[in-house]
Chains A and B, each alone.
Chain A
Amino acid sequence: MATTNAPTVRLERRDLLASFWRYFWSFQISWNYERMQALGFAYAMEPVLRKLFPNDADYEAALERHLVFFNTNPVVGAPLIIGSAIAMEEAGAPASAEGVKLALMGPLAGVGDTIIWALYNSIIFTIGASLALQQNILGPIFVIVMVAIPYTVARYRQFMWAYGQGRALATSLASGALERVTEGATVLGLIVIGGFIPSIVKIVTTWDYQQTLTVTGPKGAQAVTNKVPVQTQLDAILPFMLPVLLTAFVYWLLKRYNLNPLWAIAVVFVFGLIVGWLGWFAPALPTPPAAA
């Protein structure tokens, strides 16, 4: 075993910031299949390692130690792990740094991907996209503001918090807080999706059916034929029935047959193109001529 001399140097705030900004600007730009975020991790650690290990041999060993396979969520997860790895390197516990990286990258990737990508982003982007569809430039602006500020703050605070926690990090994370946050975010996500489906997915049928009624009037029995839009009938049963049914059908396809999403897109694409072309269905009913 190489003898690692515990560093005698203390890190200052600007050392931490140097590392943070390296992570911030370029963490994943060297991502590759073999070791994924490894080079980004080593690049972020480099200024700190140089300071901690004035001895070249120790420094080289430290760089190599952080060039091993690494992958986690870049927004929630990576800053936390870099911050704690720095704390442990500073404490002269490189094996703990490696242990924390291995132990946390998987679970944090799961939590981060769920909360940030699947839930938070989907909500923000659905709102932004629906504004954009109404040709409102506030849609994209809303999204950028809701990404730039919270993400940057969250990344910075994770990094500094994890550095401060040091060895206590794993215990802090194990308190069940992460699980509760994920659960709460899931609840929020489902409520929002429940409202988003009818508001965003737009399909109505343009079909009519002939209804023949026998009306008994002063001139005796008389057959009256009138056109009844099918959509009106559907709305009377359940508003937004077609969007819900369509989404449920695609969900069922994906779930039941474990369908590749590309095929689901292809199915919906072809279906929409054909029935739209034929004029059977449309995104919205043509506005009726103003009644006299």
Chain B
Amino acid sequence: MTAILLTIWAIICIFDILGPTVIMGFRPLIAGTGAGLIVGDLNLGMAIGATLELTALGVYTYGGATIPDYQTGAIIGTALAAAGAGDFAAKTATGLAIGLPAAVLLASLDPIGRFLPTFWIHRADGYAAEGNSSGLSLMHWTAFIPWAAVRAIPTFLAALAGNTGTVQNLQNAIPKGFIDGMTLVGAILPAVGFAMLLRIMPVGRYWYMLLIGFVLFAYLKVPLLGIALFGLAIAFLFETLRPRTAVGAPPPPTPAAPVSGEAV
């Protein structure tokens, strides 16, 4: 039963990001929390999801690129960790040790889910030529099947494996050093998330903004939300004070070429 619920949750998570985007289910924080709720250990799901989340900051599918499947990794990691034995730290360590490699491995299935709907769109071409709107709708909605399947099937299999007790046997053999190590890994992996975020930002030009945030936290002990609000104020101030003539740096998006000359 848990396995089925987890599978449905994995499908909801991918559906959300492709469609409504109201819960951001494809982020590990949300996916892991939901999985925690399903397996009856909310805190475990939150801890595993939050750690993976901070590793994956700024990691999104830009232009349709494949990225580690953190959402399914968080679900599988939570499911298997909850099935195991040990205290909270040991379970969290197990969840991370499973979830992170799972996210990377599952990334190899993602291209399959992105490739298969190509067949659907060719069918849709045919329906469009006939003006068959229900056929078009059918192709649109069923093209989601490959997307869901590449996540649902591994989740289901992993959740089933979690029920057989193999995880528990495995976990009894875990040395304490491993748990200490994995706890540290969880605490420092966010460095990768922040570094990836910084890589796509103009650090060279605005390095001093980083310094402002650092001083606010490290010396003035401002809480995170306070830093965000302060940053918002600075951003508005910065844009207000900036000379408007400087706007002409990179040319804004060029207007559509054929706006005036309609081809008839």
Contacts and interface: CB of A to CB of B under 8 A. Distances in A.
Interface of A: 1, 3-4, 24-36, 38-40, 42-43, 46, 50, 56, 59-60, 63-64, 67, 71, 74-75, 92-93, 95-96, 98-100, 102-104, 106-109, 113-114, 117-118, 121-123, 125-130, 132-133, 135, 137, 139-140, 143-144, 147-148, 151-152, 167, 170-171, 173-176, 178-180, 183-203, 239-240, 243-244, 246-247, 250-251, 253-255, 261-262, 264-265, 268-269, 271-279, 281-283
A191 B19 contact: no
Given A32-B118, A60-B130, A190-B206, A276 B182 contact: yes
B207 to A, nearest CB: 8
Given A140-B30, A283-B187, A265 B55 contact: yes
Contacts of A250: 191-192, 195
Contacts of A254: 195-196, 199
B172 interface: no
Contact of A188 (B51, B68, B222, B235): B235
Contact of B183 (A26, A40, A265, A283): A283
Interface of B: 15, 17-24, 27, 29-30, 33, 42-43, 46-47, 49-51, 53-55, 57-60, 62-64, 68, 100, 104, 111, 114-118, 120-121, 124-125, 128-131, 133, 136-137, 139-141, 143-144, 147, 177-178, 180-192, 194-203, 206-207, 209-219, 222, 224-225, 227-228, 230-232, 234-236, 238-239, 242, 247-250, 252-259, 262-264
B211 A137 contact: no
Nearest to B52: A129
Interface centre among B23, B46, B115, B206 (most CB of A within 10 A): B46
Given A125-B29, A147-B23, A268-B192, 20 more contacts: A3-B264, A24-B19, A26-B19, A32-B121, A63-B128, A67-B121, A144-B24, A147-B22, A148-B22, A184-B238, A191-B230, A191-B234, A193-B201, A195-B216, A247-B194, A253-B195, A264-B195, A279-B180, A282-B180, A283-B184
A34 to B, nearest CB: 4
* 9 nearest CB pairs, A to B: A194-B213, A276-B184, A99-B256, A30-B143, A170-B255, A191-B231, A195-B213, A283-B187, A276-B181
A244 B212 CA distance: 14
B224 A152 contact: no
A59 B120 contact: no
A195 B24 contact: no
Contacts of B194: 193, 196-197, 200-201, 247, 251
Contacts of A32: 114-118, 120-121, 143
20 contacts: A26-B18, A28-B17, A29-B19, A31-B18, A64-B128, A104-B256, A113-B60, A121-B24, A129-B54, A135-B43, A135-B47, A140-B29, A185-B235, A192-B228, A195-B213, A201-B191, A240-B214, A247-B191, A261-B196, A272-B185
Given A195-B217, A196-B194, A269-B189, A31 B235 contact: no
B227 A122 contact: no
Contacts of A179: 247, 249-250, 252
Interface centre among A98, A107, A246 (most CB of B within 10 A): A246
A43 B141 CA distance: 10
A147 B21 contact: yes
A202 B194 CA distance: 13
Contact of A147 (B24, B60, B114): B24
Contact of A192 (B147, B231, B248): B231
